[in-house]
A and B are shown apart, each in its own frame.
Chain A
């Protein structure tokens, strides 16, 4: 089933390429159908996942490049599964959103579906080379999506996006190769790319080479996360990307880096991470505060939301640092749970925010926050924006609170000064979201601003995200339970 879910989007995409271009409606419904089936399949995986058993489930292992010990090895961990469901959901909602728009339907649908295969494959890969393969397969379509359907500066933004992420991923590839060469292989091959085998071998532990290997991984994952100072591509890519591109970028692609940080870096090099934990924690704190401050300085709503991603994903980097700074199991579990929760929560909230901002920008012809006001008169839009913004600023009862509370709570237990800085970031971002709400919803509605409330199709695209955020805020156990085993085994590492 997992294999089917990985390749279903790609197969749908190929089918769409084969269908006649003269019937765009058929193409759109076919792509929605493919994405929807993928979502159903991923939900089926979710409900058949045994949260108590832990480990890697639904595993398939076959030879891929036997002579160098790389295999097609996919399976589900608790966190991987959660992100796969999130990816499939966002992919489906994107298809709902574009159901009646966009030129060049064939290419559009194909690229999004190809990206879906890359992302789902990435979050289930248990082999480093396969992970890298899916990583790049997920990146390439985004280049075209930004470049073809983006705004004015799309070519520049697309190129910048691709060069940054590609430079990062090549650094990551070198580190993968170094890890591979440090791991004894099985069955004929001299070395192994298997994540489990590398984790068991712990190559380079305690050597100076380990720092460089870790740095390569940090560059790869850090660009994608994105963490300060590797974030520079993100605002451009987001601002130029079409709405649905921004949604996938923020909702699913940023999780590639976060996932790699928690589920590749920590288990493969726990000792090294512990040794340089202060570096990760510092990067996390800087991203968190810097992201919020930079967002505060923006007038363009889309750019503003883009910067808040740097703030939100900073918690994941901070969590990895806190994990390394302490060996207290309970604190480690708390911080990792928070980080994992943040990944899902950010996907829901920021995905929804980008939909709303995209719609607003499309209707009004501008995204400058000063051009808006008094949109309280649009009940659906105002309600959803309020809900998502309060979720993002960490209001209890919504998913963002559960995530950030856990990370900050763990930080308090480790270093009070780090925690103070975290709270500073939190305060800035609270002010930030309140300013967005005030600027867009309150005050006097400018006379020339005449826009419609959300239509049915748009509601279908956004409401599921808001509902899920609310659900996870009230019943976090829904997500925490499947995560628990994966998180527990990570927490116990390297002690």
Chain B
């Protein structure tokens, strides 16, 4: 068996090379050259994206001695991860322009992207732990490079401690899998686990879920998110609210579907309960927030709950993977759009009170309209992407026989509407109370334009995206 299939990991290699070049580059650049690493990172990701598109139609196979998957599932998720990272890089570069952290932010971002991309393809317990750590560590770094000051440091520390504990618990659970089956390979584990003691399998699963629940901010391992989101700079918050989540869902789906086939240990119902709790808690907590970043943090917890509905039925309902993928793509667009506006705010005023949005529709009508579109999409109003995404998710839950969950989710969406409208109320229904200043850089405009375009396109003409996402169903078993 040839175990050195370097040809198969073109995108990963491009990302890794960029990472390696960025580290010294970021240390060397001075003055106006400090924008160079961001440009370089963007270039590396575009190359990786291009190489990844080439792999979309490859026949599915396991490379590197069966430890790494080359399949439709991986390719589509990599596309989502790299694409959303590119969209997140634009506001990050704009936000840090002219600041000390300018050359360092893209480096941390690149490592996180590499970790996320590789996680989506990993078929081996060792690789899963490795890349999950890479993704998380890079995310901690990204939070820490953003801004001096107490809140950012606190956020980094909190993120780091919770992350380290969650991932350690998860690694412990993974070691159970090895103990039960004597293998590190997900597919061998899946084949052998049926004969193992169900109690221990359940224990292993529960421990593993801790790690993934941390990455995707599912209840009850979400509590780091609001503080970290609030502490980090807005564009970084946008990034960590999207990328680790998409990568986490990729890893979770692959693990559950391959290593725990046929709903082993009853994970579908476990995930369904997790989904219900996550959306309820996220929505209830978001109702009371007075700061935008915290509001969006709880909203993103609730959004993770919605996606978990599709995860719960992923093993039984065809199309559940496409629905999850569609929703994550929609989520990336609308959430990044919202955080881009918050970034424009925060850079000027240093804060993110809801009331500071007051009257934005008069002072900056374009920005206000785009933020409104993003929020309405998050709330699931047609014809925006978030609407069709929610329809698909509800449909999956109903097809999978989880009628109670679909009804519960619909009630939650009503709750969600209330807090998504609060910024809209401030922007449109109240008069400005002073100067609202926005930080202006071309990067914001590009990010807002692209994300809004994506939100509209996915909602109005979803057929091409759904055709692409149907590739998600091609997964190694």
Contact = CB atoms under 8 A, between A and B. Distances in A.
Interface of A: 63-68, 107, 129, 132-133, 136-137, 140, 143-144, 147-148, 154-155, 158-159, 162-163, 166-167, 170-171, 173-174, 177-178, 180-181
Query: Which of A66, A163, A170 has its CB near the most chain B CB atoms (within 10 A)?
Result: A170
A162 B421 contact: yes
B416 to A, nearest CB: 10
A68 B361 CA distance: 37
B299 to A, nearest CB: 16
Given A147-B429, A177-B391, A177-B394, A170 B466 contact: no
Contacts, number: 78
Contact of B429 (A140, A158, A163): A158
A163 B419 CA distance: 11
A167 B398 contact: no
Contacts of B428: 144, 147-148
B462 interface: yes
Query: Which of B387, B395, B406, B466 has its CB near the most chain A CB atoms (within 10 A)?
Result: B395
Contacts of A143: 421
* 6 cross-chain pairs, A with B, having the tightest CB-CB distances, nearest first: A133-B382, A147-B429, A170-B410, A167-B414, A136-B382, A67-B466
A284 to B, nearest CB: 26
The prevalent SS among residues of A at the interface is helix
Given A136-B381, A173-B391, A177-B395, A166 B470 contact: no
Contacts of B383: 133, 137
Interface string B348-383: 000000000000010000000000000010000111
B467 interface: yes
Contact of B398 (A158, A170, A177): A177
B138 interface: no
A177 B383 CA distance: 17
Contacts of B406: 174, 177
Nearest to B417: A166
Contacts of B395: 68, 177, 180-181
B417 A162 contact: yes
Contacts of B387: 133, 136
A140 B381 CA distance: 8
Contacts of B410: 170-171, 173-174
Interface in B393-415: 394-395, 398-399, 406-407, 410-411, 413-414
Nearest to B469: A67
B418 A67 contact: no
14 contacts: A64-B462, A66-B463, A67-B470, A133-B383, A133-B387, A136-B381, A143-B421, A155-B425, A158-B429, A162-B421, A173-B394, A174-B406, A177-B398, A178-B398
A43 B431 CA distance: 41
B322 interface: yes
Given A162-B421, A163-B417, A174-B410, A68 B392 contact: yes
Interface string B229-270: 000000000000000000000000000000000000000000
Nearest to A135: B382
A132 B421 contact: no
B388 interface: yes
Interface of B: 319, 322, 361, 376, 381-383, 387-388, 391-392, 394-395, 398-399, 406-407, 410-411, 413-414, 417-418, 421, 425, 428-430, 462-463, 466-467, 470
Contacts of B425: 147, 155, 159
B358 to A, nearest CB: 12
A154 B414 CA distance: 20
A111 B417 CA distance: 19
A178 B361 CA distance: 39
Contacts of A173: 391, 394, 410
A10 to B, nearest CB: 11
Contacts of A63: 463
A147 B388 CA distance: 26
A163 B425 CA distance: 14
A174 B380 CA distance: 14
B463 A65 contact: yes
Contact of A129 (B376, B391, B407): B391
B429 A181 contact: no
Query: Which of A133, A144, A177, A178 has its CB near the most chain B CB atoms (within 10 A)?
Result: A177
A159 B415 CA distance: 12
Query: Which of B388, B392, B413, B414 has its CB near the most chain A CB atoms (within 10 A)?
Result: B414
Contacts of A66: 463, 466
Contacts of B430: 155
B418 A159 contact: yes
Contact of B319 (A67, A107, A147): A67
A140 B463 contact: no
A214 to B, nearest CB: 15
B417 A137 contact: no
Contacts of A129: 391
Contact of A67 (B322, B381, B417): B322
Nearest to B466: A67
B376 A174 contact: no
A104 to B, nearest CB: 8
Given A65-B388, A159-B425, A163-B414, 8 more contacts: A63-B463, A67-B322, A129-B391, A147-B425, A147-B428, A148-B429, A155-B430, A158-B429
A181 B399 contact: yes
A173 B429 CA distance: 28
Given A66-B463, A159-B418, A173-B391, A154 B413 contact: no
Contacts of B411: 170
B462 A166 contact: no
A68 B322 CA distance: 11
A39 B388 CA distance: 31
A137 B429 contact: no
